[in-house]
Amino acid sequence: MLSVISYFSDIKIKMSWPVESVRLFTSPLEDICSILRKGLEKNFKEVSVSVEECPDLTKAPFNLPAAGLAGSTRIADVGGPPYLVPFADLSKNYDFNELAKLIDLPDSFIVGAGGGPHEIVGMNSEMMPNLRTGTNADNNSKVSKLSGDGHELVSLAKDQACCSLMVNLFACEGAPGKVLKVRARQRIGEENFVSCIRKAITEGFPNKVVGLGGIFRMLSGAAKCHIMPNFSKIALNNDEEVSNWLKYFEMAAPMIFFSVMVSSDPGLDLRLEHSHGYGAEYGGHYHYDVTPDTVEYEAYYNLAEVLYRVDKPQNTHNIGKN
């Protein structure tokens, strides 16, 4: 089912996007610590994982619009790469206030990774959603777009709480509460930080669907990130063509990333991990760090209780999910 736009007089009414949901497997955060530690220690020289009270995220260095990552936690996978390749579907524009209602939490604190709202930005871009919807709406989201030979980081206004094509998000009440705190330093393996955590969860909870979302900071080192250029006029038919189309940059710490992952796909055409972040004047889609000796990460994640699949593509493929 596709979104339907109907017209009544001059009022444009957009019917809701189709939604499916599944309850995720959860366990006490303490039980996850040893699983994450085991996975991360194969990949990083120094690792610590603990259950801690979430630091006040409204304060520096986070400066987010809510204090914590707790309360009615959920993740959502909205749209997807089939709306980007082989050709972009420019009708796929999502309003975060509407998405928050669709995931049964109208007053949400949302972080995540997705496509910037091309109708507002004027072109394709990477979005770092970081906002509140509903009663106390506030928008600290940023987009990163190509500009000349370089790129530009742009802040979105309160009335620009939208994204396009796809977004993976973690939503909650933004309440203080316990979170998983992960620190990892000096990479000795081949996995990136996020894949390492995700694969540890998959191994630790076989045959279960576990969802995690939150934030991580790259405290030192640099990461390889991509920024999507404007929509391709030439069909992008495979991962190699997508990779050649994307623009890659090395971005230096300190950076903050918003990160969403799920341990396995219960048949909902999910993207298993997606992280976007920004530094002082740049931002993009996280691939991996390029400074194994000096890289250091600090993360705060919480488990999601429910997974929502919104506007799942009908004609799908697995291109562009890296």
Can you give the binding site for Zn ion, defined by CB under 5 A? 113, 285
Q: DSSP per residue over 60-96, as a string?
A: TTT--SSS-SBSS-EEEEEE-GGGTSSS--TT-EEEH
- Measured CA to CA, the distance from residue 269 to residue 312 in angstroms comes to 7
Q: How far is the CB of 285 from Zn ion (least distance, A)?
A: 3
> Residue 304 and residue 32: Cα distance in Å, rounded?
13
SS3 assignment, position 45: strand
At 241 the three-state DSSP class reads helix
3-state secondary structure of 240: helix
Smaller CB distance to Zn ion: residue 70 or 93? 93
CB of 38 to Zn ion, least distance (A): 28
Q: Between 187 and 285, name the residue whose CB sits nearer to Zn ion.
A: 285
Residue 30: strand, helix, or coil: helix
| Least distance (Å) between residue 139 CB and Zn ion | 19
Q: State the minimum distance, in angstroms, from the CB of residue 255 to Zn ion.
A: 14
Whole-angstrom Cα distance, residue 31 to residue 52?
Answer: 13
CB nearer to Zn ion: give 204 or 277: 277
d(CA 259, CA 266): 20
Please state the closest distance from residue 175 (CB atom) to Zn ion, in A. Answer: 27
Q: How far apart (Å, rounded) are the C-alpha atoms in residues 214 and 32?
A: 15
Element (H, E) at 127: strand 126-128
- Rank residues 113 and 303 by Cβ distance to Zn ion and give the closer one: 113
Count helices and strands (H / E) in the chain.
5, 22
User: Of 101 and 321, which CB lies nearer to Zn ion in the complex structure?
Assistant: 321
* DSSP three-state, residue 156: coil
Q: Specify the residue, 27 or 248, whose C-beta has the smaller distance to Zn ion.
A: 248
Nearer to Zn ion, 128 or 210 (CB): 128
CA dist 214 and 172 (Å) reads 10
**Least spacing, CB of residue 65 vs Zn ion, in Å:** 21
- Least distance CB 188 / Zn ion (angstroms): 26
Q: At closest approach, how far in Å is the CB of 153 from Zn ion?
A: 15
Rank residues 117 and 204 by Cβ distance to Zn ion and give the closer one.
Answer: 117
- The whole-angstrom separation of Cα 110 and Cα 138 is 10
State which residue has the least CB distance to Zn ion.
Answer: 285
- Phi/psi of residue 148, nearest 5 degrees: 60, -130
Let me know if 170 is exposed, middle or buried by CB neighbors in 10 A (0-12, 13-18, 19+): buried
